[in-house]
Amino acid sequence: MTDDLLALKTETDAALAAAGDLRAWDAVRVAVLGRNGSLTGLLKELGKVAPEERRARGAALNDLKEALTAAIDARRASLEEAALEARLAGERMDVTLPPRLSPAGLVHPISRTMEEMAALFGAMGFAIAEGPDIEDDWRNFGALNIPAHHPARQDMDTFYVPGLDADGRQRVLRTHTSPVQVRTMLNQEPPIRVIVPGRTYRADHDATHSPMFHQVEGLVIDRGITLGHLKGCLIDFLRAFFGIDTLPVRFRSSYFPFTEPSMEVDIGWNRKTGELGGGGDWLEILGSGMVHPKVLANCGIDPREWQGFAFGMGIERVTMLKHGIPDLRPFYESDIRWLRHYGFSALAPAMLHEGV
């Protein structure tokens, strides 16, 4: 390489090294390889070189062009990498920092119970189903084998919503989560295994009743389902939920229009002390039964092929019992002192391996 070419190489290397960012780098590139660049100029002048020198000069220029192009590309790559490194360093966050715990953000006991139920029934293979708060009287009553003038409709102190729905059915605020049984059976093929946590409404208001409250429904439909499955499922659930391995559980014959046979479920407790477990007294905790064949048929399921069980329980009730909460009303009053006392940390979600 002749001196002038060597000088250009040295000069360009120095300029590239001095280029601290992509903008400066581009200026160097243009100054060398651009239309008016120094190397481009030398190439243009090749025609003026004496014929006997032209070949050697041309080869040298080509070598230089290759070397400069490689150096320019390499500098670009290293500048881009440095820019990425700088960005990563600037955007770093420390995942080992402790969380900022604030008493302002706690999980309401009702939400906590729903999460615990999702964890417990989830482990038994149940999915979660939901339905609307405003139902129609067919899903809330009719399909569940509660005919028009059945006393159960009065028992439930229904809130009627003015006007009919698109199908000409009377709208109601659902009095229980059972209409979601109907929705689920109409919408999916058996086997079915769902729980339905949600809001429910009855025109009732005193220390132990609220016009809006929460229930969780359970529905299992499969082949060959028996009362034994119902009992095993609910005994397991109740013992795990209350954290008492030996919790006495009693099934007592009862009546619901949508189950046959029907059973009320009681747990053992001590009426005087309120303590759950022993004590010799019984406390009614939920309703259950084998899904009535008429309900299956109303929902398009052949009762000769499929059987199932269902249950329903009040979320507030089991929450009060589990945590010793004496009054129902503060559940809905948003009193920050009550919420701080009974709320749960959002950072310790209900998980089975820790027990719920």
Using alpha carbons, select from 320, 114, 338, 110 the residue that is nearest to residue 208.
320
- The answer to whether 157 touches 204, Cβ cutoff 8 Å, is yes
* Binding region for ligand PHE (CB under 6 A) out of 45-53, 73-81, 270-278, 305-313: 305-313
By rule CB under 6 A, what count of residues binds ligand PHE?
11
Using alpha carbons, select from 252, 240, 249, 264 the residue that is nearest to residue 314.
264
Q: Which CB atom, from 28 or from 310, has the smaller least distance to ligand PHE?
A: 310
Residue 310 interacts with ligand PHE (CB under 6 A): yes or no: yes
* Strand order, beta sheet including 134-136: 134-136, 170-173, 160-164
Site for ligand PHE in 285-304 (CB under 6 A): 287-289
- The distance of closest approach from Cβ of residue 124 to ligand PHE in the complex, given in angstroms and rounded to an integer, is 17
Binding mask 144-183 for ligand PHE (x = CB under 6 A): --------------------------------x-x-----
* Binding region for ligand PHE (CB under 6 A) out of 2-10, 107-115, 281-289, 325-333: 281-289
The CA-CA-CA angle for residues 30, 80, 67, to 5°, reads 50
Q: Which CB atom, from 269 or from 311, has the smaller least distance to ligand PHE?
A: 311
Distance CA 136, CA 168 (A): 9
- The answer to whether 125 touches 191, Cβ cutoff 8 Å, is no
- The distance of closest approach from Cβ of residue 91 to ligand PHE in the complex, given in angstroms and rounded to an integer, is 52
Residue 259 interacts with ligand PHE (CB under 6 A): yes or no: yes
Burial class of residue 14 (count of CB atoms within 10 Å of its CB; 0-12, 13-18, 19+): exposed
Residues that bind ligand PHE (CB under 6 A): 176, 178, 217, 256, 259, 287-289, 310-312
